[in-house]
Amino acid sequence: MKKNEKINILLSKTQKILADVGLPLNSSKRRVEKMSMAILSLLDIKKERDFINAKSINNKWQLGTREIIRYLNKNFEEDIADSSYDDIRRKDLVAPVAAGIIIKAALNPNADTNDGNRKYAAIEEFANLFRNFENKSYATLLMKFKSKMPSLVDEINKEREQRKIPIIINSTKEIKLDSGPHNLIQKAIIEEFLPRFGFGSRVLYIGDTSEKILWKDKAYIDNLKLKIPDRGRLPDILAYSEKKNWLYIIEAVHTSNPIDSLRYLELKKIFKKANMGLVFISAFLDLAAFRKFSNQLSWETEAWIADNPSHMIHFNGDKFFGPR
What's the pLDDT tens digit per position in 15-59?
999 998 888 888 889 999 999 999 999 999 999 999 999 999 999
Distances (CA, A) of 307 to 118, 125, 237, 253: 50, 53, 19, 14
What's the pLDDT tens digit per position in 108-160?
655 555 555 679 999 999 999 999 998 999 999 988 888 887 665 565 455 44
Q: What is d(CA 88, CA 210) in angstroms, rounded to the nearest whole number?
A: 30
Q: Report how many helices (DSSP H) and strands (DSSP E) the chain contains, helices first.
A: 13, 12
pLDDT band at 161 (very low <50, low <70, confident <90, very high): very low
Alpha carbon 280 to its chain centroid, in Å, reads 30
pLDDT at 160: 47
Distances (CA, A) of 37 to 2, 3, 71: 14, 12, 9
User: 233 versus 294: which is more confidently predicted?
Assistant: 294
- CA-CA-CA-CA torsion for 63, 69, 74, 78, nearest 10 degrees? 150
What's the pLDDT tens digit per position in 47-97?
999 999 999 999 999 999 999 999 999 999 999 998 888 888 888 998 888
pLDDT at 77: 93
User: 87 versus 208: which is more confidently predicted?
Assistant: 87
Nearest to 228 by CA among 174, 220, 298: 220
Q: What is d(CA 88, CA 180) in angstroms, rounded to the nearest whole number?
A: 31
> What kind and span of H or E run contains 15?
helix 5-20
Average pLDDT over residues 4-9: 93
User: 239 versus 167: which is more confidently predicted?
Assistant: 239
Question: Which domains, and CATH codes, for the chain?
Answer: 5-153 (1.10.10.1820), 163-315 (3.40.1350.80)
